[in-house]
Amino acid sequence: MAIASAPGAAFAAPAPEPGPSKSLEEVRKEIEALYHQAGTATDAYNLAEEQAQRQSDQIVAIANQVVATQQRIADLKNRAGAAARAQYRTGGLPPSARLALSGSPQQFLDGADRLRQGEKATMGMLGELNAHQTDLQRYAAEASAHWQTLEANRRAKETAKKEIEAKIAAAKALEDRLVAEEKARLLQLEKDDANKKQAKWLKSGILKEIDGKATPAGKAAIAFATKQIGKPYVWGAEGPDGFDCSGLTSQAWLAAGKHIPRTSQEQLRLLPKVAIKDMRPGDLIIYFDDASHVAMYVGDGAMIHAPRPGRHVTIAGAGSMPIKAIVRPDA
């Protein structure tokens, strides 16, 4: 059954006057803007975290390559040194003297052939040694570049963290100024606004076009997301006790056997897009022009998402926020 607009709940407090009501609506919009900005910064934080982890993994891989190459170089040096010492012991005599001392021409020829083979092997080892030393220089340059990127990502993450904390603190400060009745009215205003947008979306007749069926993987992703309902929104979290919006969607699809990007912006950029009329349960809905929020469509005009700080994973109307795009993890 589609989620539609619902009448506001009754409260014991008298209906607000136009002035105060407008003032409270302004507060609601300001709080909503602050949480939206925090959501955008959270996406930046998550992306920087993911990129920092990737750079750390690459630095570790390079370090392992360096160790293996250094061991190979040490082995080649030992072998080259042994060959050089052997050549020194036998290679100091002129060919005529070696022929005279050999006892027979055939023995001399055999010895000369072995000497040539040894020289060729030594040259090969020296060439391999030079190649490995070149590899070490390249590894050093790559490690330096990855380290610089890692540090840049760490700085970006710290900047985003400070912005998130500042926006959330500002939003909470606004809410804390309200008395209990105002907070209740504020929550109702949020619900009314979401219901109004959902009703408008449904009135367009969109559900008559959307009739896709969930795939087995989509059903598994929805099952995971459904089990998380009631858990708190925690920015930067991927469970198990709390989630941010893209933490929920990425973990739901991971539970379904599909690894997808961590952030809503990367999910939009890298996952295949589908038209809204072709949307099916399990698809991800990307919201807002800056792709700062994501939810999972579950059918009948509804979605599951982790809304914002102070809220919990819940089911809501798929049209309760401005939709930017639909992406499909299991296309």
Residues labelled catalytic: 245, 293, 305
Answer whether 221's CB lies under 8 Å from 329's CB.
yes
Distance between start and end Cα atoms, the chain: 26
- 204-213 in b/e form (b: 16+ CB < 10 A) is eebbeebebe
Exposure letters 143-167 (e unless 16+ CB within 10 A, then b): beebeebbeebbebbeebbebbeeb
How long is the chain?
331
Contact 168, 35 (CB under 8 A): yes
Helix 105-176 / helix 95-102 crossing angle, nearest 10 deg: 120
* Conformational region of residue 291, where left means phi above 0, alpha means psi within -120 to 50, and beta covers everything else: left
Other residues' Cβ atoms within 10 Å of the Cβ of residue 125? 18
Is 11 in contact with 190 (CB distance < 8 Å)?
Answer: no
Cα–Cα distance, 174 to 19 (Å, whole number): 18
Instruction: Give the H or E element holding residue 314.
Output: strand 314-317
